[in-house]
Structure 1
């Protein structure tokens, strides 16, 4: 099985926060877009918080996030994963993105929000030990994935609304 390759970061020069997923799922990889699965709540939440909802073309959603200081990326640059479930990622195949270089260039980012437990676990295991203590604030939010359907949308939105105070709005 070949390694799935992630996407480059979406980031503006004045970004203040970073939202990290683990690795794009199959629908996202096929569409070449972050959070492309139609049942993933990410863009619906971004619409409610920042006006970057799924009704907008993808490029406009990204522009709206960047204008508010929100950046997107994934912990993993590449991995082997049959399907889209984080539980199916082959741990030995994971290649992390270069966060030391990314954070050296994007010095305004002080707050990292994780889109679910898998992203947080991978970051803390693979990335955090490689970073100098830069005073980053790390916070896990509930996954927007359709696989995490146990939490109702309104509860997810309420928890995700914490990122508004960290954005440039």
Structure 2
């Protein structure tokens, strides 16, 4: 099945870019980043910012991220995939990161939401890893397929986030 990704959610003052690989089936159906209620992404983001509750509507969630200078996108613009698993991705078409980083020069840190997004980025846009103004960090996937457990996942995200905020970015 052909999967088409989303446009980036980004603002001129965004300093952190969180990259997934390709939205899962439910997210694609809902046309929402991290639209599967079992995905921990929005809960993790809220917890990192001291919030007990995740913003309710998708629009509120996007405002929450953008208000904290966080942009969202995926490595892939499209791919062939059956189901939601990254392991099933075939025929990947990569987003234009050269254009994104040129248009949004305030971006300083790229956080990969899982190993698959990092692997795809390294394979298809790896030349950008040499850009000295950018930092790159892999986070454990927020996906429900990642059975790591909430506390360990949150601790890993919190550790990575401290590195971002330590650089005065978000």
TM > 0.5 fold call = yes
**Which residue does 2:66 correspond to in 1?**
66
**Which residue does 1:128 correspond to in 2?**
126
Contact 1:39–1:146 (8 Å) recurs in 2: yes
**Which residue does 1:159 correspond to in 2?**
156
**Partners of 2:168 and 2:155 in 1: how far apart?**
16
Q: Size of the alignment, in residue pairs?
A: 164
Find out whether 1:15 has 2:29 as its counterpart: no
**Partners of 2:124 and 2:4 in 1: how far apart?**
17
Question: Structure 1, unaligned stretches of length 5 or more?
Answer: none
* 1:140 aligned to which of 124, 133, 138: 138
* Structure 1 residue ranges, 4+ long, deviating more than 4 angstroms after superposition: 166-169
**Partners of 2:130 and 2:64 in 1: how far apart?**
30
**Which residue does 1:112 correspond to in 2?**
110
Find out whether 1:84 has 2:84 as its counterpart: yes
For residues 76 and 5 of structure 1, do their structure 2 counterparts lie closer, same or farther at Cα, with a shift above 3 Å needed? same
**Partners of 1:43 and 1:36 in 2: how far apart?**
9
The residue matched to 1:78 in structure 2 has which SS? Answer: strand
The residue matched to 2:11 in structure 1 has which SS? Answer: coil
The residue matched to 1:113 in structure 2 has which SS? Answer: strand
**Partners of 2:64 and 2:144 in 1: how far apart?**
24
